[in-house]
Structure 1
Amino acid sequence: MDVDEFGQQTNQCRLEFMPSFRLHLADQEVPMTRGLAALVVSVVLEGERTSRRMLQARMWPDLSPSDGSKRLRQLLWRVGRATDNRLLEVTTENVSLSADVLVDLHHAEERARKIVDDEEMCTDPLEWRFLRFELLAGWADDRVVEMRARWDRLRMMTLEHLAEKFLEAGKFVDAIETANAASTVDSLSEASHRILATAYLRREDPASAWRVYVKYRALLLQEIGLEPSSNFRELFSDARVMHTAKQKPSKAAPGRTSIQSTQVTLM
């Protein structure tokens, strides 16, 4: 049985929202115009069953009810024709996604929550690669923006959770990679930067840790006029760490550097 990176069967009807819209019937991608894709996205994001009246009001708020109804009928017919009526279930009152359609967003949210709840652990970078993906990149619809923000919060928390787990296990490279990925989701979130700095410190690389702190502090001051928390600052409570990190590397005995000999005080 062929499966994709989310463990979903590739012989089913599949919708991809991350990072962009794609529709697959079995192993064939179905091209869709932006208008058709917008209709499908609206149906998925509104939930299990959406009234036709709500759909047309959301998609064409400036049209009269009769014109909106006509436009919706046309798009629903075109979607049905393009997908052999396998994607949507349509009645005179409601529109919903067919029960056997797989949506990558739904599966990604489920996996992320399992990771946060320690029901699943990712040990291979490929296993958490889906957490790097933005939801419908470039779409500016209000509902999409709202759902993107929700997904971003979940994936950032999941990446931070993974980073902490990797840190506890002494897997510093994995901790650095996941913490860095989390920081790209929300550059103002302190947790990811703090974990990143801690991982560098535990690798006996205070210079890199200090650069993370300085860069984050400058960003925070510029954007919202705040300082990093005391927990973050206390990572560098040993003045020798700060001093060493800001100095150029000095010559040391073979196999030993001045940075490696620095004592690091952690939170």
Structure 2
Amino acid sequence: MSQGATELSQPRRVPEVAIRLLGTFVLEVDRCPVALPTGAQRLVALLALRGRTGRSRVAGLLWPETEERRALANLRTGIWRVNKTAAGLVVCEHGVVGLGLSPVVDVDRLVARSRAVLGGQESPEPEPDLGTGELLPDWEDPWLDTERERLLQLHLHVLESTAARLAASGRYGMALEFALAALRVDALRESAHRAVIAIHLAEGNIAEVRRAYDACRRTLASELGIVPSPSTDALVAGLAPRALTG
């Protein structure tokens, strides 16, 4: 068999592709960063976050103020530019656009890790900063709003769930680290306030319970004009009223 025939019979090597979306957009091919124009970056990011999507939908999300014909032309150009840099990364079949080459996406890894923690399938060493990287913070694209909210809520649930698990095992100091981290992310989140109150109660620190409850009440009143919910009040229902009101 000739050398040319041997080369043709060998399977084509698939490059290793990694996409980073937490922080600055980075596309790596075989561990080397590659540059993409802004529009092409947004195409890759959208597909990495939403998966296979119809051509018209992709075009409408990326170029919402452009007529459909022009937006679809922009999409074709974007696909060509991406594949010129990383051949086969964007695939368009039967009117549906998606990512090929099975890229490793940091958001996917974060979501999988967070779900494992929430499901009790993974008990890592406590990491209060798990998931704190912001999703493409310098981008102002409206289609990112729901993706950011999804990651934010997942992050907060991981913090609260881990706080509860650590408190149940008697690791109150680390439990507070997670509960307070949730409050730093969203000071109006009443469930995070409840987590802090519950940990102080478990430790028997009534003075801390008072401060945490009063902080919750003041924050909700000043920012939202509401009072703590029955679930929060129930945590402290057995304490003397004076201990809570001063």
Q: Place the TM-score, normalised by the shorter chain, in its bin.
A: 0.7 to 0.9
- Say what the alpha-carbon RMSD is for the aligned residues: 2.7
Aligned to 1:72: 75
Provide the rounded CA distance (Å) in 2 between the counterparts of 1:96 and 1:72.
12
Deviations 1:8-33 (A, max 9, x none): xxx93111222442222232223334
What amino acid does structure 1 have at the position aligned with 2:225? Answer: G
* 1:52–1:94 contact (8 Å) kept in structure 2: yes
Matched residue of 2:19: which SS?
A: strand
What amino acid does structure 2 have at the position aligned with 1:148? Answer: R
Give the 3 Å change call, closer, same or farther, for CA 184–21 of structure 1 in structure 2: farther
* Among candidates 110, 114, 118, match of residue 116 of structure 1: 118
Provide the rounded CA distance (Å) in 1 between the counterparts of 2:137 and 2:192.
22
Single out whichever of 205-214 and 146-155 deviates more from structure 2.
205-214
Unaligned stretches of 5+ residues in structure 1 = 1-10, 247-267
Q: Alignment identity in percent?
A: 26
Q: Cα distance, 1:95 vs. partner?
A: 1.9
Aligned to 2:95: 93
Provide the rounded CA distance (Å) in 1 between the counterparts of 2:243 and 2:32.
56
In the alignment, is residue 174 of structure 1 matched against residue 174 of structure 2? Answer: yes
In the alignment, is residue 149 of structure 1 matched against residue 149 of structure 2? Answer: yes
Aligned to 2:211: 211
* 1:131–1:159 contact (8 Å) kept in structure 2: no
* Among candidates 77, 84, 87, match of residue 81 of structure 1: 84
* Among candidates 79, 104, 107, match of residue 105 of structure 1: 107
Matched residue of 1:95: which SS?
A: strand
What amino acid does structure 1 have at the position aligned with 2:25? Answer: F
* Among candidates 24, 31, 35, match of residue 35 of structure 2: 31
Provide the rounded CA distance (Å) in 2 between the counterparts of 1:218 and 1:174.
25
Aligned to 1:8: none
Give the 3 Å change call, closer, same or farther, for CA 170–19 of structure 1 in structure 2: farther
Provide the rounded CA distance (Å) in 1 between the counterparts of 2:32 and 2:177.
34
Unaligned stretches of 5+ residues in structure 2 = 1-14
Give the 3 Å change call, closer, same or farther, for CA 225–98 of structure 1 in structure 2: same
Give the 3 Å change call, closer, same or farther, for CA 134–217 of structure 1 in structure 2: farther
